[in-house]
């Protein structure tokens, strides 16, 4: 598995936050390296049919979309989820090749890297979050580091149960 080094190029807050988010993103991609197309769509957890490699990657992609585009920028929410199917992004992921999902996640990550570089960490989100507060970009980055890292643990478990592959 390949991923970036987790030591920031500088020790300022922005460098640390963005480096750890990129590290978590790269780790998610690394957890999927070498997985077969069939395995990428297969759930191995009986109580969690949506826990697939494809589903988790697609979820990470759409979580970033929600926080950066919908909450931070205030754009309309055009995500795949609905009130009736709030986890739809995980369900529909099995309809797409894992390589495509990973490519889309990488392309989107590059756009968000540019957005973050052009914004101040103290900039407030245009939309209030679920608790009614307008969080700042710093909070969004911290949340995405947490969210991505937590799902990396899920990717670890799913991958090991699928084909025995383990990582660092």
pLDDT digits (tens, 9 = 90+) for 28-66: 999 999 999 999 999 998 888 889 999 999 999 999 999
* The pLDDT of residue 4: 57
Please indicate, yes or no, whether the overall pTM of this predicted structure exceeds 0.75: yes
Q: How do the domains of the chain map onto residue ranges?
A: 35-163
pLDDT tens by residue, 132-159: 999 999 999 999 999 999 999 999 999 9
pLDDT mean over 86-91: 96
Contact predicate 109/64, CB 8 Å: yes
Residue 101: count of CB within 10 angstroms of its CB: 21
Q: Which CATH code of 3.90.480.20, 1.10.357.10, 1.20.120.450, 3.10.129.10 fits the domain covering 35-163? A: 1.20.120.450
Euclidean distance between CA atoms 11 and 15, whole angstroms? 6
Q: How far is CA 157 from CA 77, 89, 109, 149, 163, in A?
A: 31, 20, 24, 13, 10
Contact predicate 136/23, CB 8 Å: no
Euclidean distance between CA atoms 65 and 59, whole angstroms? 10
């Amino acid at each position: 598995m390949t991923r970036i080094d987790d030591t920031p190029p500088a020790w300022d807050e922005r460098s640390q936050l963005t480096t750890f988010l990129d590290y978590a993103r790269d780790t998610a991609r690394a957890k999927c390296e070498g997985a077969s197309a069939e395995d990428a769509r297969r759930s191995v957890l009986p109580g969690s049919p949506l826990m697939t490699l494809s589903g988790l990657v697609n979820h990470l992609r759409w979580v970033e979309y929600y926080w950066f585009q919908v909450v931070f920028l205030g754009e309309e929410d055009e995500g795949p989820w609905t009130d009736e199917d709030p986890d739809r992004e995980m369900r529909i992921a099995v309809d797409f090749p894992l390589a495509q999902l990973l490519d889309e996640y990488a392309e989107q990550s590059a756009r968000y890297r540019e957005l973050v570089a052009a914004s101040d960490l103290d900039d407030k989100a245009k939309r209030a979050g679920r608790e009614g507060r307008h969080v700042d970009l710093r909070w969004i980055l911290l949340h995405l580091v947490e969210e991505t890292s937590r799902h990396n643990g899920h990717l670890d478990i799913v991958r090991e149960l699928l084909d025995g592959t383990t990582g660092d």
